[in-house]
Amino acid sequence: MLSYILPFIILILVVVFIHEYGHYYFAKRYGVGVTDFSIGFGKEIIGWNDKSGTRWKICWIPLGGYVKFFGDRNVFSQADQEKIVQKYNEVDREKLFVLKPLYQRVLIVFGGPLANFLLALAIFFSIYTFVGKDFTPAVINEVQKDSPAMVGGLKQNDIILEIDGNKVESIMDVSKFITLSTDDIIDFKVKRSYDELILKIKPDTVLGEDNLGNQVNKRIVGIKLGAYNNQINHIKLGPAQAIYHAANEVFYVSISSLKYIGAMIFGKADTSQLGGPIRIAKISGQVAEFGVLAFISMMAYISISLGLINLFPIPMLDGGHLMFYAFEKVLGRPLSQKTQEGFFRIGLFLLLSLMFFTTFNDLKDLGLFR
């Protein structure tokens, strides 16, 4: 159990710290006072004050964090500005978040998710630069009898060029693109002799195991792959290529995640794969056993997920505050405090529902529910 908990705590500490530091960086840049920078919730374990008066602390419940701004009862959104202004002198007013121009408040809020995307970008860039990226073409060595691949027309020795319009740069891309596809039909673009063909394959969904041994519903087409001419092409990239491929990976994962979430909402994707802290902790421990490289790669994907989720237009999340600012821009004034509180209640209900659902999936994954 300790082998799961320790990697999980390290992962959460890093991605949450980076997220909150994104808020902190822009807040300090625009002169907003920061009273607390907390990793975790609940009772403080350890903490210290810096020269500017910010309390940096780590708390007992490592499931998030927060940056608290000077004078703000609600961290990001306030409508009753006049009441707040009356409480502070002219010097202190300069440190108030609510009195900053709209674009500065937007950047401060957006800074958290932005930092998560930049962390993922930095991780992928470092891997591609110092470890390398695989560019081994994917060749079909075998097509299983009566499989979706055979029915759809895939043949032995076909070289897979694209899946659903996504360029296949290595063997590892094939399973990734198939797994993240949410369409009933997957388009395969293959090279056969001197011809390029587009074939439509309808995958089967079967209960199987992932690379870590966890039970998952897998989409399969029934092919076995090999390296083109049996040669592995794994190369270290220069800075320009590394940043390009790193940005492309962050973009692809973000778009695919949004498509998958949309498909789950409309009942077209498997919701049993949606997990919470327990599943993340379990997978963190399993991945850590494969080494540092696998673990920091997972950290990049979790960081992207955290950035994306926080941009959802749900009150209590960064995206909810950005939604309020969009209203403020259109209306020319902030929403009333009463209206904001109504939105916050809705947001709390949605978040609690999501937590309940993911926790149920986690417990089912552990075998406590059938």
The percent of residues above 70 in pLDDT, for the chain, comes to: 80
Position 354 pLDDT exceeds 90: no
82 annotated active-site = no
> pLDDT at position 270, please?
60
Contact 167, 140 (CB under 8 A): no
User: Residue 328 CB: number of other CB atoms within 10 A?
Assistant: 17
Position 369 pLDDT exceeds 50: no
> pLDDT at position 130, please?
94
**How far is Cα 309 from Cα 323, in angstroms, rounded to an integer?**
14
Q: Which of 77-81, 109-113, 196-200, 241-245 has the lowest mean pLDDT?
A: 77-81
Position 286 pLDDT exceeds 90: no
> pLDDT at position 214, please?
58
| Better-predicted residue by pLDDT, 80 or 330 | 330
Position 212 pLDDT exceeds 60: no
What is the chain's alpha carbon radius of gyration, rounded to the nearest angstrom?
24
* Alpha helices per DSSP H over 30-57: none
DSSP string, 220-288: E--EEEEEGGG---EEPPPHHHHHHHHHHHHHHHHHHHHHHHHHHHTT-S-GGG---HHHHHHHHHHHH
Beta-carbon contacts of residue 324 (< 8 Å; ≥ 6 apart): 77, 315, 334, 335, 340, 343
CA 69 to chain centroid, in Å, comes to: 26
Choose from 65-74, 133-142, 221-230, 360-369 the range with maximum mean pLDDT: 133-142
Choose from 119-128, 247-256, 337-346 the range with maximum mean pLDDT: 119-128
Choose from 3-17, 46-60, 196-210 the range with maximum mean pLDDT: 46-60
Q: Label residue 230 by pLDDT band (50, 70, 90).
A: confident
Domain boundaries, the chain: 2-130+301-365, 133-235
Of 20, 196, 209, 341, the active-site residue reads 20
CATH architecture, domain 133-235: Roll (2.30)
Quote helix, strand, coil % in the chain, to nearest 5.
Answer: 50, 20, 25
Q: Which of 22-31, 61-70, 115-124, 289-298 has the lowest mean pLDDT?
A: 289-298
> pLDDT at position 268, please?
67
Choose from 86-95, 341-350, 351-360, 361-370 the range with maximum mean pLDDT: 86-95
| Better-predicted residue by pLDDT, 42 or 114 | 114
Range 283-288 contact pairs with CB under 8 angstroms and sequence separation of 24 or more? 283/212, 283/214, 284/4, 284/7, 284/8, 284/11, 285/3, 285/4, 285/5, 285/6, 285/7, 285/8, 286/4, 286/212, 286/213, 286/214, 287/7, 287/212, 288/3, 288/7
Distances (CA, A) of 95 to 23, 70, 99, 334: 15, 7, 8, 19
Q: Which of 6-10, 69-73, 105-109, 184-188 has the lowest mean pLDDT?
A: 69-73
The 10s digit of each residue's pLDDT in 146-197 is 999 999 999 999 999 999 989 998 888 888 888 778 788 999 999 998 899 9
> pLDDT at position 76, please?
41
Per DSSP, the chain holds a count of helices (H) and strands (E) of: 11, 12
Q: Which of 75-79, 167-171, 286-290, 306-310 has the lowest mean pLDDT?
A: 75-79
> pLDDT at position 246, please?
96
The 10s digit of each residue's pLDDT in 119-145 is 999 999 999 999 999 888 889 999 999
Choose from 23-27, 136-140, 296-300 the range with maximum mean pLDDT: 23-27
Here the tokens at position 283 are 């997978």
| Better-predicted residue by pLDDT, 131 or 356 | 131
